[in-house]
Amino acid sequence: MEQMLQLFIWIPLLGFFISLFFNNTQEKQIAGVAYTSVGVQLIGMLVFIGWWAVHHFQTLHLKHFVFFKEENIEIFLEFYFDKTTAVFSVLGAFITFLVLVFSKYYLHRDAGYKRFFNTILLFFFAFNVAVFAGNFETLFIGWEFLGITSFLLIAFYRDRYLPVKNALKTISLYRLGDIGLILALWTSHHIWHENITFMKLENTALLSTHIETHYNAVVFLLAMVVISATIKSAQFPFSSWLPRAMEGPTTSSAVFYGSLAVHLGVFLLLRTYNYWDSVFPIKVAIALIGITTAIIATLIARVQSTVKTQIAYSSIAQIGLMFIEVAMGWHILVLIHLSGNALLRTYQLLVSPSVLGYRIHDQFFNFVPKQPIHSQLMAGKLKNSIYLLSIKEWNMDANLKSVFWNPLKYVGRFFYFVSNKTGIIIFAFIFVAGLLLFTFDDHIPWQIDQFLHIFFAFVGMILTLLAFVEKESPMKAWLFIILSQLYVVLSVALLNDQYQYREILIYFSGLFASGILGVSILYRLRKLEPHLGLDDFYGSIYRHPGLAGIFLVACLAFVGLPFTPSFIGLDLLYSHIDHDEYVLVAFLTIAFLVLELAVLRIYARLF
């Protein structure tokens, strides 16, 4: 019966592939495939839970498939099933089924009808991978797919400026959360010397000894996990992305940001609870994040003028309370609270257009403006200050921009003087020289050798930042991205004598194909549209939909989405970085943070 766990992963993916064979006018068939696959999963899940209850709710785990194995590392799919998985999987299937039935009529004759159902099925597949995951690698696969489906659904109305802009803003913060998980994986490899599974986290005696031995490294690992959970669940100070993400269709807002995806941060904390339960600073940090978010999100929700924004911040406030409950160890309460919040927000978002219509009608006849009260007391001034701060959403957007993105753009612009044709040729020659150094590594003096990998990682980071700030030529930005990845791999290869050619080929097998494909598409597009740049949104998807589709696949493959070997190569890359190489990790982390943003920015601006 344990083998059935894998069926719950693949059923929605099968539905996704079947739905691709219909055209946009075959609405009944597209919707039928979508809610049939989700409905079959829901019924199968309920039957499976019945069998599981008869067998006394025993925790199940299944090692499914090994992607890569060598002496020091093994990357494999593992599925895991306990009470947390049961609640999330049933709740996810039930809400997705309801939303799909609703969407059949809500999106009737919409130009993107098929695209919406395809994306929702891909999202549901990613959600299942995440909640059934038995280790961090499997969880990260679902985590990555959720990010890209979020981007596609927010930008669903791609002929409007705000949805596309907000999609890029959301994916930028999601990428920050992805980097947190990557660093957690890197730390885990070094302190466990194996791929840690969630089943092993049930061994409290082993965890206690492990935490005492590697306390500082464990605190760093758990801090990265908390940052990822905080961003995914839109907790303070990362809350502002959630209302921006509701630019997509109301039904996608309901299933994504009202009920399922936004609660995955809570899921991550529940799944890793045994790990951080005895680490007091982490426990306090989670509780403080929850308290701060609950208060600030409540204040913001009370003064917002749009229905979706009010619902978004109300949901964020409830998730803040869930963070507190998880920290207190009240996990059954968390699951009940989570289910109630998810169902309520789904209902509120689905009926929000109707409610808005009723309220507007009511205002014409019954609205009485509140009389202003002028108070010179300190309490009145404080209340007005909080009111203004809440109207401005506590300046979270501006603060994130000034702390995270402006410094990166400043560094990219500072080095922009090397972004001409001569600069690209020089970078290519330096890379060839690096390859020769890698080949004859044994003959390099150690005084030079210990700084070479830092230099190449720095150049890789700068190239990524140059692509991020490039405003003129899409081809130049794409070439910078390709060069940056060559430098990144070279930096790790120079550092580690054990880095094998096979591992380099695994990473580059995905990058090479997608890089060449991207160059060919951009070359073809330049022939058709010679004046395209990166200074505006050009909407070429309407004139060249075929090129847009192929280029999107190339972009997703280049950033290492889990359907490419580059995804495995990224894990291998980080596993070969020594635990004390902090500068190298910092440069590579910035490079990978900006990589996806630079690639998707090119796609968004052109298409």
Q: pLDDT at position 58, please?
A: 85
Dihedrals phi, psi of 312, to nearest 5 degrees = -60, -50
Q: pLDDT at position 496, please?
A: 63
**Half-sphere exposure for 421 (CA within 13 Å, toward CB):** 0
Long-range residue pairs from 294-301, CB within 8 A, at least 24 positions apart, any chain: 294/318, 294/320, 294/321, 294/324, 295/320, 296/236, 296/239, 296/390, 296/394, 297/236, 297/239, 299/386, 299/389, 299/390, 300/239, 300/390, 300/393, 300/394
pLDDT along the chain (607 residues), means of 10: 77 90 88 90 89 84 74 77 90 91 85 88 90 87 86 86 86 87 84 78 80 85 92 90 83 79 91 88 93 94 86 92 93 93 89 74 70 70 86 86 87 86 82 75 64 84 90 89 85 66 71 87 90 87 90 84 70 72 85 88 90
Q: pLDDT at position 6, please?
A: 80
Q: Using alpha carbons, select from 11, 251, 241 the residue that is nearest to residue 122.
A: 11
Q: How far apart are CA 295 and CA 561, in angstroms?
A: 36
Q: Using alpha carbons, select from 147, 171, 323 the residue that is nearest to residue 244.
A: 171
Q: pLDDT at position 297, please?
A: 93
Give the other-Cβ count within 10 Å of 285's Cβ.
19
Q: How far apart are CA 235 and CA 249, in angstroms?
A: 23
- Counting beta carbons within 10 angstroms of the beta carbon of residue 333, is it exposed (0 to 12), middle (13 to 18) or buried (19 or more)? middle
In which residue are the tokens 């009920």 written?
259
In which residue are the tokens 């020769």 written?
436
Q: How far apart are CA 595 and CA 337, in angstroms?
A: 37
Cis peptide preceding 237, ω within 30 of 0: yes
Q: Using alpha carbons, select from 63, 183, 67, 182 the residue that is nearest to residue 134.
A: 63
Q: Using alpha carbons, select from 550, 560, 503 the residue that is nearest to residue 524.
A: 550
Structure tokens at 20: 């691709």
Q: What is the pTM of this model?
A: 0.90
Q: pLDDT at position 299, please?
A: 93
